[in-house]
Amino acid sequence: MEPEAAPATAPAAAPAAAPAAATPLDALVVYCHPWEGSYTHAVLEAVERGLGRSGASFEVIDLYGDGFSPAMSAAELAHYSTGEATDPLVLRYQGLLARCRRLVLVFPVWWNDVPAMLRGFLDRVMLPGFSWEATGAGLAGKLQNIGRVDAYTTSSNPTDYMRERLGDGIQGTLLDATFWQLGCGAGTWHNLGGMDATDEGERRRWLTEVEKEVAAQA
């Protein structure tokens, strides 16, 4: 009897390829309004047109359209200090934020502040470890990839009145404090103030200005 042939040696497996780096985004737009018929939605469309004209790569987060929940749960708070996120939307948003070079926020000013939905976005998405670390002497922001933050908003109050008498919540608190702490670059507030007293021509002109401005800055 001939000796049994030795089993053929399987070829060595090729080393696993390193995961491809995520493609950077020129801009990430975070849109916060529940009604598509709103003027804020028209502002979003102007921002999209401006980015499209410039050839910039961009994505849009539609918080209401995505069904995002702004309320942090007890389970999330229980392990908040670990920075762990389990909500697929939170993980998706974090991935987009980590890729973008510019952040554009589009929302109405409600009661001199951001809508609760956008506040919940900050609470649930900007987790420790992902977007900041505690130092004992203030937060150390980790979103240095975001070189610029622009907020396009509308308000019933005039813009100067909001800056001088109502606490300057958008420029002073949201952009110059919160996003600065997160490591982002310069923030600029663009607001159509006193909107209730504007006419259709003024609103159309502002949309044109938004589109041109976004295209020039992309």
Q: How confident is the model at residue 218 (pLDDT cuts 50, 70, 90)?
A: confident
CA angle 109, 213, 94 (to 5 degrees): 60
CB pairs under 8 A, 24+ apart, for 21-25?
22/95, 22/98, 22/99, 23/57, 23/99, 24/57, 24/99, 24/100, 24/101, 24/145, 25/57, 25/58, 25/59, 25/96, 25/99, 25/100, 25/101
Where is average pLDDT lowest: 17-21, 64-68, 105-109, 177-181? 17-21
Domains within the chain, CATH numbers bracketed: 27-217 (3.40.50.360)
Calculate mean pLDDT across residues 38-66: 98
Q: How confident is the model at residue 21 (pLDDT cuts 50, 70, 90)?
A: low
Q: How confident is the model at residue 22 (pLDDT cuts 50, 70, 90)?
A: confident
Where is average pLDDT lowest: 4-8, 26-30, 61-65, 74-78? 4-8
